[in-house]
Amino acid sequence: MKNLKDKVVFITGGARGLGYAMAEKFAAEGAKIVIGDIQEALAMESAEKIQKEFGVETYAFQMDVTSVENIKAAFAKVKERFGKLDVQVNCAGIQIRCPSKEFTEENWDKLMNVNLKGVFFCCQQAALLMGDNGGAIVNISSGTSTQTTPGRAPYVISKGGVNAMTAVLASEWAEDRNGKKAIRVNAVAPGWILTNMVQDGYRLGVVSENQILAAVPFKRLANPSEIADAVVFLGSDESSYITGQTLFVDGGWSALGMPAMDLIK
């Protein structure tokens, strides 16, 4: 058990996919779940499903992480509803594939506003709400932050920035050296995950399973629940002396050291 009963956990991008898997895992440990997602109806539906399955309190609303005012309003809602925040998970993110020579300023701003600006200001507002009570922040990075992938340069840059952001904020917010009131900041960097997008890629012939598996020593893709397990660990007191770290959950992809291939054309 991770001792998360009645802890308030706020997950951005938590309405579907990896974010939803994290919400399920935290709920299974007894945490109260807050979902902020750009898709309001889906966020509400996902929160209702979690409440019915796990019997925990849930709260959901539309959230646009590219807007600082919207971010501030979201955290104000959490404060009004619960009066505190224990764990913040910044999962909202986007990916735009395009050769670097063709990447537009518009798409650069769109990607960075979600993947870097949004993460930073969610960290900021989470820390302000946590205050002297401390807490844990988990940012979702990517294995591509070190295993660079051609055709996705801005995405790779943004995730490398998340790793750096995680380290500097962790050092800045570790005020209480005994670890009781520090705000711990860590990141999880997933490798290849068995998602609907990857499976669609297999079917359409734009992704080769053999290419992916050649780069992964475990010779399989991760299940979303395996990534969620790592996030729950970093959000719990079981990781009370861990901060400023990026945990690669990638089946050994980063350890093998093979450069990532341009798997998705």
Q: Is residue 114 a contact partner of residue 93, using CB atoms and an 8 Å limit?
A: yes
Write down the pLDDT at residue 265: 41
Distance from C-alpha of 10 to C-alpha of 60, rounded to nearest angstrom: 9
Using a 10 angstrom Cβ sphere, with 0-12 exposed, 13-18 middle and 19 or more buried, the burial of residue 106 is exposed
Distance from C-alpha of 69 to C-alpha of 54, rounded to nearest angstrom: 32
Residue by residue, pLDDT tens for the chain (265 residues) are 568 999 999 999 999 999 999 999 999 999 999 999 999 999 999 999 999 999 999 999 999 999 999 999 999 999 999 999 999 999 999 988 888 999 999 999 999 999 999 999 999 999 999 999 999 999 999 988 888 777 789 999 999 999 999 999 999 999 765 555 899 999 999 998 987 667 766 776 656 788 888 889 999 999 999 999 999 999 999 999 999 999 999 999 888 876 555 544 4
How is domain 8-256 classified at the architecture level of CATH?
Answer: 3-Layer(aba) Sandwich (3.40)
Using a 10 angstrom Cβ sphere, with 0-12 exposed, 13-18 middle and 19 or more buried, the burial of residue 208 is middle
Active-site residue set: 155
**pTM higher than 0.85:** yes
Q: How many residues does the chain have?
A: 265
Distance from C-alpha of 3 to C-alpha of 20, rounded to nearest angstrom: 20
Cα torsion for 153, 113, 167, 125, to the nearest 10°?
-170
